[in-house]
Structures are given as structure tokens and as C-alpha cells.
Amino acid sequence: MASKIPGSGDLLKNLMNNMPDAIYFKDRKSRFVIVNQACSDKHGWKSPDAVRGYTDFDVFAKVHANQAFADEQRIIETGEPLFGIEEKEIWPDGSITWVSTTKMPLKNDEGQIIGTFGISRDITKHKEDELRAQRAAEEMRLITEEMEEDFRMASDLQKTFFPSSYPAFPEQAAPEECCVEFLHDFKACSDVGGDYCSVHRVSETEAGIFLCDVQGIGVRSALGTALIRGIVQEITPLGLEPGAYLSRMNELLMPLVCHEEVLLGVTACYLLLDTTSGKVRFASAGHPLPILFRHGNGAEWLCEDQGPCGPALAEQSDMAYSSAESHVASGDTVVLYTDGICNVKNVLADAFGAKRLLDSAQSLVGDPLTDIFQGLEGDALAFARNGIFTDDVCLVGFQLRKLLQ
């Protein structure tokens, strides 16, 4: 025999008694008329019948009670329900819970609005998780903004590491009257980079050019350049002997980067130019050889052998670097560079390489120093697969206009 379907009153009773969400009916003054067991339990009432005549002002803090009352009075006036709104319930003890609430106009048989009824589902855990996620996202946004600002500041600061002016020979001479022209160009792959160069006066007639390349790109390599810049300023008096200059730099750098967590790969070179004789002395710590542009006679490596080339800095303690000697004449140019210009690859994954760089230099002999820089960089970028450098690139060099008298 089929079970008899309960009447509407029994159906409502079943719903009220078994629904875990809070169900409530209110009159036109927002006073509770009927609530289910879940609503009674939520508020700690003795029974659902004990709530009759109460309002939200009796159970919630005033700020929430005011909002709930205003919402219900608007429903009574307009007949427009509220669906799935999120309510922040503030209790008298200051605690907070959250519910998802739907409220409807309560009508009699004639269709007149005689109050409201609603159902509220507790979403406190979900809302707290959401708020935690929002706070975490906001904290991450602030951290990201702070990091971006730090990067911008670091980038601006690193730009001050590079020469803002060059020594004049003779001293105090106007740029067009100097016997030698200096120039550098730095292109970083990120906000900060790992290349660094300096050009400084060593004596009344001699200039020192230092160039280094800290492995990698970004903050780690930039911190390496900051360390090296400090050392450069300390060992300036050793600038008259390139080998001794790099040896002392290696000695000072070794204890700073010998720990595994701070390990840095650093190549460097130092060149000393005597403007009265054209004599050039050069030493290298794992760094590429400079290119010598002999005016009217083509381009070649500054040193024909690898004699002045020792290991990268901080690889061997007590390393004694040696120097090689060459000469430049009026009209000659020397360019030092970091290997970022050679490391660009084409679509076949072939590197531009030192040979192609030297071939490019052949067509630039006799050009102004600015055009030489642009020509070398342009040929490398034309070769590159995406037309961009994938590593920091720094060029620094000089063009001897005439010997200093």
C-alpha cells in the first residue's frame, strides 16, 4: 500500500525541523513569529517558541540589526526580495559570523504583505577562507609593489656605478682637445645586471679601464657588481700593474664568495693605457680578449696569445695574474666587451661567437668609437634569433687620437 503524502502543514513542519539552515518568519515590524530549530539553536534560545516577539536588536549588535531591519522594511515596502546576499553578523560580544541569506515578502491569502520570511545558511568558514585569501593577495600585491620599487631603485643606483665622465688627457682639456676618447655602453637584460666597468685616471699620463662580468642576470649578479665596485675603489693604487691589480682583486673577493650559497662566477679584465707612448698593458681573469682596431690595417685581438689570461676571479686562492704588453698608434681603437654580445644565438642555436665578432669589427676599422659600438651590437642583434640580447652586454674602450705631448 502506497504511503500517504503528508499535508502541507506536516511538510512545512518537516522542513522546519530538519533543515540545518536558519528559517524564520517575521511580522511587518520585523519581529520573529516562527523560527525553526536550527535558528533557535544558533541563537541559544530554549526553544523555537521562546523567540516570538524578539527582533534582531535583541540578539545582534546594533550595526547588524540596523542593516537587517532596513533590508526587511524595504522588502515590505517594495515587495522585492533579496536573493543570496552575504550578511556579516556582528554579535554583542564582538564575534563575527557570515551567512548567505535570501529574504522574501510574506503574503496573506489576499496577496497583502504581512511581513517577511527568510533562510540563512552559515558560510563563516568559507568567508573566512575567502578573506584570508584576499588578505594574502593584498599582502602579495604590496610585497610585489615594494619589490618592483626596490628594483627600480636598484636599477637607478646601478646606473650610478658606471662612468658619468671620463678622464681628460691633458687634464682640464676640452673633450674635442683630448688626445684620447673614452666610451662605454651597457645594456641590461633586466632592471639590474651583472656587468660593470670603470675608466679612471691612474697618473697624469695613464688611464685604467676595468671591465667585469658577473655570471647570470638580475639581483644576484647585480649584488656581485656592487661588491666588485667597492673593491675597485680600494685597489686603485695598484692600477699601474694590471696583473697585480687582478691578483689583489681575487684575494679580496675570495672570502666574500667562497661559500656555496654565495658562489659567483666572475670574469674580469684590466687595461692600462700610457697616452704618451701608446703602450698598453693588459691582464685577464677568464675574460675575452679585447679587439684592437688598427687604423688602416684591420682588426685583431689585442694579444696574439692567451698569455695574460688566467682563471676567473675567486676560483683559485693566491692566484698571480700576469700582464701582456701591446702598442697602439694614433687613430687606433681598443674595445673591451662582455661575452653577452657573443652568446646570442640564431634559429639554429649557433652562437654569434668571438670569430663573427672579430669579422664584424673588420668592417668598422677607422669609424668613430660610437659607430663601432653600434656596429658590433647591431651585427650581433641581426644574428640573434629574436633580435634581443639574452645576457647583459657591456662595451668599453678608447680611441687614441694622438699621443700626448
C-alpha cell at 159: 646606473
Residues in the chain: 405
What pLDDT, on the 0 to 100 scale, is given for residue 19? Answer: 86
49: number of Cβ within 10 Å: 10
CATH topology of domain 161-400: Phosphatase 2c; domain 1 (3.60.40)
| Listed range (31-45, 158-172, 211-225, 346-360) with the worst mean pLDDT | 211-225
Q: 6: cis peptide before it, omega within 30°? A: no
If you average pLDDT over residues 125-145, what whole number do you get? 87
Q: Is the pLDDT of residue 2 over 60?
A: no
What pLDDT, on the 0 to 100 scale, is given for residue 4? Answer: 53
What pLDDT, on the 0 to 100 scale, is given for residue 193? Answer: 76
Q: Is the pLDDT of residue 9 over 70?
A: no
What pLDDT, on the 0 to 100 scale, is given for residue 1? Answer: 43
pLDDT confidence bin for 116, thresholds 50/70/90: very high
What pLDDT, on the 0 to 100 scale, is given for residue 331? Answer: 96
328-375 pLDDT tens trace: 999 999 999 999 999 999 999 999 999 999 999 999 999 999 999 999
Q: Is the pLDDT of residue 13 over 50?
A: yes
Q: Is the pLDDT of residue 295 over 50?
A: yes
- What's the CA gap between 282 and 267, in Å, rounded? 14
- Phi-psi region for residue 10, left (φ > 0), alpha (ψ -120 to 50) or beta? alpha
If you average pLDDT over residues 370-382, what whole number do you get? 97
What is the distance of C-alpha 284 from the center of its chain? 32
| Listed range (39-48, 187-196, 317-326) with the worst mean pLDDT | 187-196
Sheet holding 82-90, edge to edge: 32-35, 22-27, 113-122, 96-107, 82-90
- What's the CA gap between 53 and 76, in Å, rounded? 18
68-89 pLDDT tens trace: 999 999 999 999 999 999 999 9
Q: Is the pLDDT of residue 61 over 80?
A: yes
260: number of Cβ within 10 Å: 6
Domain ranges of the chain: 8-122, 134-160, 161-400
- What's the CA gap between 13 and 25, in Å, rounded? 13
Homologous superfamily of the 8-122 domain (CATH): PAS domain (3.30.450.20)
- Assign 261 to helix, strand or coil: helix
If you average pLDDT over residues 385-404, what whole number do you get? 94
Q: Is the pLDDT of residue 159 over 90?
A: no
What pLDDT, on the 0 to 100 scale, is given for residue 10? Answer: 72
What pLDDT, on the 0 to 100 scale, is given for residue 306? Answer: 56
What pLDDT, on the 0 to 100 scale, is given for residue 238? Answer: 87
C-alpha cell at 153: 631603485
pLDDT confidence bin for 149, thresholds 50/70/90: confident
Task: Answer whether 323's CB lies under 8 Å from 243's CB.
Answer: yes
pTM of the model: 0.68
What pLDDT, on the 0 to 100 scale, is given for residue 162? Answer: 86
- What's the CA gap between 352 and 362, in Å, rounded? 15
Amino acid at 276: T
Q: Do domains 8-122 and 161-400 have the same CATH topology?
A: no
What pLDDT, on the 0 to 100 scale, is given for residue 17? Answer: 77
User: CB within 8 A of 107, min separation 6: which ones?
Assistant: 113, 114
> Which of the 8 DSSP states describes residue 236?
G
Instruction: Give the residue, 257 or 189, on which the prediction is more confident.
Output: 189
What pLDDT, on the 0 to 100 scale, is given for residue 78? Answer: 95
What pLDDT, on the 0 to 100 scale, is given for residue 23? Answer: 93
Q: Is the pLDDT of residue 147 over 70?
A: no
pLDDT confidence bin for 216, thresholds 50/70/90: low
